[in-house]
Amino acid sequence: MRPTGNQAGSCNVVTPDRRKDDELPVSRPQDLAQAANGEDPAGGCRGTLTCFKVPLRSLAGEAAARLPSEVNACVTGPAGAPLLVVLGGISGTAAVAYRPDGTPGWWHCIFRDGGPVDAGRYRIMGIDFAADESGGFAPDTYEQSAIIADALAALGEEEAFAIIGASYGGMVALAYAERFKPRSTRLAIISAGACPHPMATAARSLQRQVVALGMRQGVGGEALAIARGMGMLTYRTAREFGERFEGGIESCEPVSASAPRRYLDARGRAFAEVTAPGRFLSLSASIDRHRVDPRAIRAPALVIGVEEDQVVPPAQMEALAGTLGGETQLHIIKSLYGHDAFLKEPEIIGGLIASWLETGA
Summarize pLDDT for 269-316 with one digit per residue, the tens: 999 999 999 999 999 999 999 999 999 999 999 999 999 999 999 999
pLDDT band at 123 (very low <50, low <70, confident <90, very high): very high
**Architecture of the domain defined by 18-196+292-359:** 3-Layer(aba) Sandwich (3.40)
At a CB cut-off of 8 Å and minimum separation 6, what does 355 contact? Answer: none
DSSP letter (8 states) at residue 106: T
For residue 128, give the nearest of 169, 157, 186 by alpha carbon.
Answer: 169
Given a contact cutoff of 8 angstroms between Cβ atoms, the answer to whether 171 and 165 are in contact is yes
Residue 180's CB is within 10 A of a number of other CB atoms, namely 16
Query: Is 293 marked active-site?
Result: no
Annotated catalytic residue: which of 27, 145, 339, 340? Answer: 339
C-alpha to C-alpha distances, 164 to 73, 177, 187, 188, 299, nearest whole angstrom: 15, 12, 6, 5, 12
Lowest mean pLDDT among 47-51, 185-189, 304-308: 47-51
Query: Is 309 marked active-site?
Result: yes
The per-residue pLDDT for range 208-246, each reduced to its tens digit, is 999 999 999 999 999 999 999 999 999 999 999 999 999
| φ and ψ of 165, to 5 deg | -130, 130
If phi > 0 it is left, if psi is from -120 to 50 it is alpha, else beta; for residue 47 that is: left
**pLDDT surpassing 70 at residue 36:** no
Predicted TM-score of the model (pTM): 0.89
What's the pLDDT score for residue 289? 98
At a CB cut-off of 8 Å and minimum separation 6, what does 200 contact? Answer: 234, 310, 311, 312
Residue spans of alpha helices (H) in the chain: 18-21, 29-36, 61-66, 141-144, 146-155, 168-180, 198-216, 220-235, 238-244, 259-274, 277-288, 314-323, 341-344, 346-359
C-alpha to C-alpha distances, 58 to 90, 119, 139, 181, nearest whole angstrom: 20, 29, 13, 14
pLDDT higher at 47 or 81: 81
Given a contact cutoff of 8 angstroms between Cβ atoms, the answer to whether 328 and 177 are in contact is no
Encoded amino acid at 351, one letter = G
Q: What percent of the chain has pLDDT above 90?
A: 83
For residue 305, give the nearest of 340, 331, 324 by alpha carbon.
Answer: 331
Average confidence (pLDDT) over 182-206 = 97
Average confidence (pLDDT) over 37-56 = 64
b/e map 73-91, b = 16+ CB within 10 Å: bbbbbbeebbbbbbbbbbb
Domain parsing of the chain, residue ranges: 18-196+292-359, 198-287
DSSP letter (8 states) at residue 98: B
**What's the CA angle centered on 18, arms 213 and 229, to 5 degrees?**
45
**What is the C-alpha to C-alpha distance for residues 30 and 33, in angstroms, rounded to an integer?**
5
**pLDDT surpassing 50 at residue 25:** no
Average confidence (pLDDT) over 167-176 = 98
At a CB cut-off of 8 Å and minimum separation 6, what does 282 contact? Answer: 131, 132, 133, 135, 136, 137, 138, 139
**pLDDT surpassing 50 at residue 29:** no
If phi > 0 it is left, if psi is from -120 to 50 it is alpha, else beta; for residue 78 that is: beta
Sort 177 into a burial class: Cβ within 10 Å, 0-12 / 13-18 / 19+: buried
Query: Is 167 marked active-site?
Result: yes
Annotated catalytic residue: which of 309, 331, 335, 340? Answer: 309
Given a contact cutoff of 8 angstroms between Cβ atoms, the answer to whether 346 and 115 are in contact is yes
Residue 303's CB is within 10 A of a number of other CB atoms, namely 24
**What is the C-alpha to C-alpha distance for residues 102 and 355, in angstroms, rounded to an integer?**
27
Given a contact cutoff of 8 angstroms between Cβ atoms, the answer to whether 337 and 344 are in contact is yes
What's the pLDDT score for residue 42? 36
Annotated catalytic residue: which of 167, 191, 284, 286? Answer: 167
198-287 maps to CATH 1.10.1740.110:
yes
Number of helices and strands in the chain (H, E): 14, 10
